[in-house]
Amino acid sequence: MAEPARNISRAQPQNAGETANQAPAQKSVAREYGEAMFIALVLAVFIRTFFVQAYKIPSGSMEPTLLVGDHILVNKIIYGLRIPDSIFGLEIPGLPLGQYVFHLAPVHRGDVVVFVFPPDRSKDFIKRVIGVAGDTIAVKNGVVWLNGSEMPDPHRHWEVAAQDRSPVSPRDNFGPVTVPPGKLLMMGDNRDRSYDGRFWGFVDLNDVEGRATVIYLPWNEEKADSASTLSDILLWFEYIRWDRLGMIVY
């Protein structure tokens, strides 16, 4: 708000180099740019931590839903506000690290979620929720059974023939187990090439970081890695699986 005119008219110079109408110092271009970059960085970190984060699929455990090289966006606020396991790599005393402050929606059976890998909390895994609390899950010759009946399982993918399945491998025959309260059972869609809950157990609800939503860059990593010449590298548009661009993850 402008200063009243009467105050300006009565002001007296305090020394020979100062006047009542002295203009405020101007920020340098470098300072303004630095402040803008700092604010942008803070916003980016905040959004990435609590709202949405990009991930790249490194393995074939979720094929054909997610392919190696797919870049996806994960909605991190859909289930509620979760404080990450650390802030800039630091464990700050007093914060409920790795816990949900509040919940917005339950995790549903069939959701494709990113979670903290129980045997190694430095890693994130992505799998499909097969069982929620109270569900009894079994695998019989590769087929998932839910609460005593064969589970509708439209996303499953098999690579092993029925006659080649093992009666002692948890990949092919598992359970039955009942999912405890506050836990989830995860499996990869590619049931024959997924290291999942059949081998290492349940996932805590607090370790769910978000739900996969969309494939924003379906990058054919195998084809791109095989590029050996400059002309091959310049054909980057051939390494995008255009038919999968923008696909919603179900």
* CB hemisphere CA count around 185 (13 angstroms): 24
| Tokens found for residue 191 | 């049931």
Catalytic residue among 86, 122, 127, 166: 127
**Of 167, 207, 169, 189, residue with least CA distance to 59:** 189
Structural contact between residues 189 and 155, judged by C-beta atoms closer than 8 angstroms? yes
- Gap between the Cα atoms of 65 and 56, Å rounded: 13
Catalytic status, residue 226: no
Catalytic status, residue 56: no
Instruction: Please name the helix (run of DSSP H) or strand (run of DSSP E) that holds residue 140, with its range, or none.
Output: strand 136-140
How, if at all, do strands 100-103 and 203-204 pair? unpaired
- In a 3-state reduction of DSSP, which class is residue 104? coil
- Gap between the Cα atoms of 224 and 69, Å rounded: 10
Catalytic residue among 28, 59, 61, 228: 61
**Of 203, 104, 156, residue with least CA distance to 145:** 156
How, if at all, do strands 143-146 and 100-103 pair? unpaired
- As annotated, the active-site residues are 61, 127
